[in-house]
């Protein structure tokens, strides 16, 4: 009974898909000619012969100001930018048809080149770069939902990351800072700027920075990526980039995870998905070991 129902459903979906796919292919051809949401980079993960292909990454951002900062400060060889308009569609429970009918997702699929599977994936790291506020968190979850729903291999094979951005900047004039060790460390770097600056990714880092750079340093809270100047942003997406990898616990959890979170958008569901997508720090030094 259940089996029969499944067969009929998949048959129905297949027929629906056939028409949509044809339409989508035509659209994708146009999209690739002019994927206006994509600022591409020169080196791609699918460039077999390029020894920097592993570095190839794409930032998925929301809104013009954020994509502007990233676009101006990125490394054009290895970092591409894809910009979304506002909140993406919640794809929970929808069929693959939506990937083709929704312009943004169709363009994203075209940019990643994963319609036929992972072999053609154009970027090794697909980095979700949204603001650190509630809206940004929601957009992040909607993008992850989209990947879980239609391209779980992308997550399973470890290609999806979330960009960590600093919450605070703490800085003080060199002449005011009393901590001799901080001054000595700064001099050792050979930088002779008027200000000594710390970027803080957590409350704890902020407390430490205030202690180190006292008395009364200047504290700025970053509300959105668009507020961060391109010069500063370059530091957050350069060699010191902080990424969290989105991974799946078990192969069979995708559906459960999606149902639980995206079914009804309650706070506990949101927390559940955040806790259940294992998030692992991606530390720069480990990557260097791999590259040697």
Q: Which of 80-94, 116-130, 178-192 has the highest mean pLDDT?
A: 116-130
Calpha distance 254→277 (Å, rounded)? 10
Q: Is the pLDDT confidence value at 5 over 50? A: yes
CATH topology of domain 2-165+237-291: Rossmann fold (3.40.50)
pLDDT one-digit tens code per residue, 221-253 = 988 888 888 999 999 999 999 998 888 765 556
Q: How far apart are CA 261 and CA 201, in angstroms?
A: 26
What confidence score (pLDDT) does residue 31 get? 55
Mean pLDDT of 28-50: 81
Average pLDDT over residues 48-56: 95
Q: Tell me the average pLDDT of the chain.
A: 83
Asked if residue 121 has pLDDT above 70, the reply is: yes
- Asked if residue 215 has a cis previous peptide bond (ω within 30° of 0), the answer is yes
Average pLDDT over residues 267-288: 51
In this predicted structure, what is the pLDDT of residue 282?
39
In the chain, where does the domain assigned CATH 3.40.50.670 lie?
Answer: 2-165+237-291
Instruction: Tell me what pLDDT residue 19 has.
Output: 74
**pLDDT at residue 211, rounded to an integer:** 95
**What's the pLDDT band for 34 if we cut at 50, 70, 90?**
low
Q: Is the pLDDT of residue 286 over 60?
A: no
Choice between 275 and 51, residue whose per-residue pLDDT is larger: 51
Share of the chain above pLDDT 70, in %: 81
Strand order in the sheet with 243-247: 38-39, 79-84, 57-62, 125-129, 160-163, 243-247, 278-282
- Nearest Cα residue to 16 out of 100, 92, 116: 100
CB 170 within 8 A of CB 210: yes
Tally helices (H) and strands (E) across the chain: 12, 10
If you compute the radius of gyration of the chain from its CA atoms, what whole number of angstroms results?
22
Q: Inform me whether the pLDDT recorded for 119 exceeds 90.
A: yes
For range 273-277, the mean pLDDT: 59
- pTM, 2 dp: 0.79
């Amino acid at each position: 009974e259940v089996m029969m129902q499944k067969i009929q459903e998949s048959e129905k979906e297949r027929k629906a898909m056939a028409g949509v796919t044809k339409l989508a292919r035509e659209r994708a051809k146009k999209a690739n000619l002019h994927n206006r949401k994509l600022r591409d980079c020169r080196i791609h993960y699918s460039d077999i012969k390029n020894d920097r292909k592993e570095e190839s990454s794409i930032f998925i951002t929301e809104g013009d100001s954020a994509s502007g900062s990233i676009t101006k400060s990125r490394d054009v060889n290895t970092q591409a930018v894809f910009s979304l308009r506002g909140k993406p569609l919640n794809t929970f429970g929808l069929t693959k048809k939506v990937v083709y009918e929704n312009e943004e997702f169709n363009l994203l699929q075209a940019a990643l080149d994963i319609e036929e599977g992972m072999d053609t994936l154009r970027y090794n790291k697909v980095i979700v770069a949204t603001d650190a506020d509630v809206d940004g968190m929601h957009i992040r979850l909607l993008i992850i939902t989209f990947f879980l729903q239609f391209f779980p291999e992308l997550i399973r094979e470890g290609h999806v990351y979330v960009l960590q951005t600093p919450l605070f900047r703490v800085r003080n004039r060199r002449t005011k800072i009393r901590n001799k060790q901080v001054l000595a460390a700064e001099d050792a770097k050979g930088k002779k700027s008027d200000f000594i600056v710390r970027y803080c990714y957590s409350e704890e880092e902020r407390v430490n920075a205030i202690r180190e750079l006292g008395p009364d340093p200047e504290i700025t809270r970053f509300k959105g990526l668009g507020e961060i100047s391109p010069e500063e942003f370059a530091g957050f997406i350069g060699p010191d980039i902080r990424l969290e990898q989105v991974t799946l616990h078990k192969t069979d959890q995708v559906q459960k995870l999606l149902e639980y979170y995206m079914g009804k958008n309650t706070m506990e569901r949101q927390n559940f998905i955040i806790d259940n997508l294992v998030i692992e720090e991606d530390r720069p030094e480990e990557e260097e070991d791999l590259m040697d």
